[in-house]
Structure 1
């Protein structure tokens, strides 16, 4: 029996006040990951602060800069199927719909998506050592079952990967995360939101204690004309990515004027290499150029035995996805990407 206190709030200051006064309290919105962690005896909240009554954070609207604001409490489904998201940010819609099941997307919140924990087998096995759960206990994945694990940005302490699909698209779109605390509000560039493991693998992101995600801002450029999201996985539904790629680009006169490429399933955070994107600017969108960029993105990649295949798979996925972005219609079932 897990005894806990349940409290509902209707304004953010009340929510922050309750959390700041109780170290054993957790915010809960959709709860899709928290309940998993709880069932596996990895989370032990004594108080749940239900923030679903914060209706201002459920809104999706255009902002004053020509971009789009996604409320942290809007569900993944409401976001993916929102008219403005489908029309102006189809890359994000595709990525969200590639993740989880319809039932989970109907409950999962945008803010919660950013806060997912890794799906590493050893992390979820409370009887195994794990530096993310118990710093200093070890990382058995390095010499164990590591097929799904990271090949970039790893450390001696952790080779886990970040599981979100939505966040890979947000990284490519260069989103901004809005947070609120008792000390005020601040914005975090998406590239700085999640962390690499380093020697503190227990920290997944750069949120401070008692901060609440209130929303996500998207810039005006949504790559609506040329985009693609590719998710490679062991089965076609309800599986986390072995490798995923989000690509958005702008073309003029058959030259790339802007491109963003983000990868998932290969690191502790969404992975981008700005130098590779800059390399492609003013070049023709050819398989050869995309392959050169892929080599730059995977520079320094290291497998741990059972996940060595991910290095070559990632390179091929980048090339394939960039080609698919030239013809977004190629993403329809049964279609074949081509130059």
Structure 2
């Protein structure tokens, strides 16, 4: 089983604490997530490149990338891509993501061209064999903490919430684009779900994820999952009480919380569901499936000027590659944001 992000963070070599405002910033972009959202939002535009191929999803993704770089001014950027030729998770669980609608052929074509477009610009991409952009997100967050950087993950996938920490925030893309999307830190995540960021993976494993075809523990919904983690502190403590004391401490704690908040006493029912055959196995299975690989080599060498992932980029290269998409305003924005060209900045004013 892959180590959880929490476990990996604990096993990493400690770094001296620093002022978060003085840290450098890594931007990790979940490229497939942006492409899917932009395909559905922009298909009506029917934008095509100079070769007549559909590019509305690629163009929308690039616009959001440029807006993000302009907003956050990162020191390094890496784009995670899914391996479209194989999946370790699907090999282990053939029904992984089953039930999702079949992808539109025009979206598939743009997904397959995304890496080439980003590489042509001189940006850093990573397509981990058998893995997904989710794993690049996890590894980016771990890389940032180990190197005492800050990190912002840009995605619409809730799985990335497991990586939120004092070093990592998640810009969760929703309707409204970059400027209308929430930037989630530990406090905001806690306000949304009632669990600390370090417990989010446990919370998600209990609840399940219908979009990935991962059922949760039967009878344990979001409220019960949050209450369990609030009262016990961790699922290790929950399972220990279920295994060694028939859940008596849990029942008492859950019922005390219900009395305090004016809710219904459900402790005995929750413990009964946790002790049911298959409950622990379902939880452990979900943890395995949901855990991102946090040990990938990102190939980032931020102290070596001119290496992929660092800005600025070559102005002629940016002008040529983005210009091929055929949207003049986007080309101008790309030149300003990616190359730091003084003339383009003056023109933008």
Higher helix residue share: 2
- More contact order relative to length (CA 8 Å, sep ≥ 6): 2
Higher strand residue share: 1
Return the index of the structure with the highest Cα Rg.
2
TM norm structure 2: 0.26
